[in-house]
Amino acid sequence: DAGVIQSPRHEVTEMGQEVTLRCKPISGHNSLFWYRQTMMRGLELLIYFNNNVPIDDSGMPEDRFSAKMPNASFSTLKIQPSEPRDSAVYFCASSLGTTALPTQYFGPGTRLLVL
Amino acid sequence: AQSVSQHNHHVILSEAASLELGCNYSYGGTVNLFWYVQYPGQHLQLLLKYFSGDPLVKGIKGFEAEFIKSKFSFNLRKPSVQWSDTAEYFCAVNGHNYGQNFVFGPGTRLSVLP
């Protein structure tokens, strides 16, 4: 079975540019999560969706960040404009959204470097 | 609010030594608890999880964890570590009132010396 798929795996961009990260959750999963991992702050939840609807976006750092989930098999995280402090590894995770078994499965991550 | 603390930032062991990584959570209600492992340069993978029942949970690769409700703890153990266990270990909690929302601890880096 294919796991969570993320693209690109690596992204290098210049400050001020728009960055779009993509995620395809595991088929049949109805919850999707975006995390950011840095040395300084560890693993932070940015936003999560349930049945394509954003449930909690309190972790989104600021208005430069936006996330969408137009359908059950695709989500994007966009940063516009990007800044050097956005450099991190961004993970997408998905789960089957039954309360009793919310195990999250992680994708390989996108390593973002903003120069 | 739910929160997670992990006692050790970095643990260094020799091969065959026993391992115990501490995890404490803060949440007043029923919880689901998880340990994830992140090998160098890779994504997080589930080691084991606790939902209910037997508080001693066995996971993959010889790991186990014990849920002690009175202490709000979920410590990870392995009787004999291997060099290949070198990784970062994350404890996570999901309070039943928080839907799908997890809170991850800061992680413990384990270095196993050959």
Q: What is the mean pLDDT of each run of 10 residues along chain B (114 residues)?
A: 87 97 89 92 91 91 94 96 96 77 90 94
Q: What is the mean pLDDT of residues A23-35?
A: 94
Nearest CA-CA distance, residue A10 and chain B, Å: 12
Residue B111: the pLDDT is: 97
Adjacent-strand bridge partners of B12: B111
What are B's interface residues with A at a Cβ cutoff of 8 A?
A: 32, 34, 36, 42-46, 49, 51, 90, 94, 96, 99-107
Burial class (CB in 10 A: 0-12, 13-18, 19+), B10: exposed
Of the partner residues B42, B101, B105, the one whose CB lies closest to the CB of residue A45: B101
Q: Is the pLDDT of residue A67 over 70?
A: yes
Helices then strands, counting H and E runs in chain A, come out as 0, 11
Q: Which residues contact A85 (CB under 8 A, 6 or more apart)?
A: A114
Q: Is the pLDDT of residue A34 over 90?
A: yes
Whether residue A42 lies within 8 A of chain B, CB to CB, comes out as yes
Residue A49: count other Cβ atoms within 10 Å of its Cβ.
Answer: 24
Nearest CA-CA distance, residue A24 and chain B, Å: 15
